[in-house]
Amino acid sequence: MAIALGIVASRFKLFTMPTGGAITPFSMLFVSLVGYWFGLKYGLTAAVAYGLLRLLISASGIVSLPQALLDYPLAFGALGLSGIFKDRKWGLQIGLIVGVFGRFFFHLLSGVFFFAAYAPEGMNVWAYSASYNGVYLSVEGVLSILVISIPQVASALKRVKVMTGEQ
């Protein structure tokens, strides 16, 4: 269900970057919930599956198999790192931050190795890739953290977790 919600949320783009990447309403959050609720193994499995589905749905901009692996199953798979923080106070927030940084790392590498030609002349390709990917990932990450930090949302997420059978 979380993967499906993430896919649906990813289709609503609040802002799209010129050569790929977008700010979507909480698509990363839905995927990170799996890890936070069920642990690292399930989180990584769900997040990699989510990345593969995203690849199948939006395969434009693929330049090679290594780039596709970096930008989809590995980058989105990093969201499953939220499972490291299962059952910890502020675990969802911390897990989401770690997952976003993991996703950023893989997109950064992809930008450096496969999209360096888009960097403005004279600009360091690492700085370009970091700023490009950092813009949309940080905005969506901050929005997600703000929403899950609202007491009513946090309470609702706890109730949903109980309904999953995970206490």
Percent of the chain with pLDDT over 70: 98
What DSSP character marks residue 158? H
Q: What is the mean pLDDT of residues 40-56?
A: 96
pLDDT of residue 97: 97
Among 61-65, 81-85, 89-93, 101-105, where is mean pLDDT lowest? 61-65
Residue 7 pLDDT > 70: yes
Question: Chain-wide mean pLDDT for the chain?
Answer: 93
- Residue 166: its pLDDT value, please? 65
What is the pLDDT confidence band of residue 165, given thresholds at 50, 70 and 90?
A: confident
Cβ neighbors of 27 (< 8 A, separation 6 or more) are 6, 7, 9, 10, 140
pLDDT of residue 87: 85
Q: Is the pLDDT of residue 61 over 90?
A: no
Residue 59 predicted with pLDDT over 80: no
Q: Is the pTM of this model over 0.85?
A: yes
Q: State the pLDDT at residue 167.
A: 58
> Which residue spans within 8-163 are E strands per DSSP?
15-16, 22-23
Average pLDDT (20-25) is 88
- Amino acid making up residue 16: T
Spell out the domain ranges in the chain: 2-10+22-163
Q: How many CB atoms lie within 10 A of CB 85?
A: 24
**CATH number of the structural domain 2-10+22-163:** 1.10.1760.20
First to last CA, the chain: 18
* Residues 97-130: tens digit of each pLDDT: 999 999 999 999 999 999 999 999 999 999 999 9
**pLDDT above 70: residue 162:** yes
What is the pLDDT at residue 96? Answer: 96
Q: Pull the structure tokens for residue 130.
A: 């970091």
Centroid of chain to Cα 118: 23
